[in-house]
Amino acid sequence: MNRPVVGVIGNSYVIDDRFRTQLVGERNLSAVADVAGALPLMFAGAPDITDIRALLDVVDGVLLTGASANVHPTRFDTEPHASYEPYDQKRDAMAFELIDICVAEGIPVLGVCRGMQEMNVAFGGSLHPEIRDLPGRMNHRMPRLETGEVHPDPNVVFADRHEVELVADGTFARIFGKDTIRVNSLHGQGVCKPGKRVIIEGLAEDSTVEAIRIAGAPGFALGVQWHAEYDPQTNPVNRALFEEFGKALLASKHTTR
């Protein structure tokens, strides 16, 4: 039996200040291949390169990955500021249209970090440009050395840093088989006002939104704020999420759209 195919969105980067590229973190691809049991297919997060309808004729689901670029503030009626850069407005345009179509047509979509934030904004929600600036919130950014450099040990950077309380008997509690989990934390932006169909199912200890689902979606439409793609091969929480995504992909593959 042929494996399902997952479209994994790319992110715009400039290499050596000259070469424009589209990049996807390899751990995203490995999570899809190793745990969701699917074939990852990278596609450009740019509407002038990728034809969405042609893409959706090929894939059985979509993974919206995390990225270094933030969702542009004008997408949620906030003034841009240099401290919140970089941005990737081509990905913004691509992701929002993809989310609308995937949710409407029941095509499985999983949003991770920025991907979850895109799902919220796509349904009219807003974001805090920088969670750590809010009173009473923890710093959700990746750990750094005293020099300001990112910590060199990935086991420190991606270590579980806080708990997430899940809605009892909700979708995520069912997937994980528990109401409390521990997760990593590597983000600046975060959900402020939830979108019209966005149901919050998980909160960090400081009330930062960590898990959402889209109400009334005919297919898998979930988002998580933590980087679940980092270690689903060994982490039981992240494994359960990608395995559930894999089940949805198989169901989508066998359904005529």
Higher pLDDT, 15 or 164: 164
Q: Quote the pLDDT of residue 254.
A: 63
Judge whether 102 and 62 are in contact, CB under 8 Å: yes
**Cα 95 versus chain centre, distance:** 11
CA distance 116 to 251: 22
DSSP H helical segments within the chain, as ranges?
Answer: 26-34, 52-58, 89-105, 114-122, 154-157, 171-176, 236-253
Q: What is the pLDDT of residues 25-63, one digit of tens each?
A: 999 999 999 999 999 999 999 999 999 999 999 999 999
Tell me the fold of 5-253: Rossmann fold (3.40.50)
Q: Quote the pLDDT of residue 186.
A: 78
Judge whether 180 and 170 are in contact, CB under 8 Å: no
Give the burial class of 26: count Cβ atoms within 10 A of its Cβ; 0-12 exposed, 13-18 middle, 19 or more buried: exposed
Q: 17 falls in which pLDDT band (50, 70, 90)?
A: confident
Across 173-204, b (16+ Cβ under 10 Å) vs e yields bebbeeeebebbbbbbbbbbebbebbbebbbb
Phi, psi of 190, rounded to the nearest 5 degrees: -165, 165
Judge whether 253 and 197 are in contact, CB under 8 Å: no
Q: Quote the pLDDT of residue 67.
A: 85
CA–CA distances in Å: residue 203 to residues 39, 167, 172, 191, 208: 31, 9, 12, 11, 5
Name the average pLDDT for the chain: 90
pTM for the model stands at 0.92
Helix (H) or strand (E) holding 16: none
The domain limits of the chain are 5-253
Q: 142 falls in which pLDDT band (50, 70, 90)?
A: low
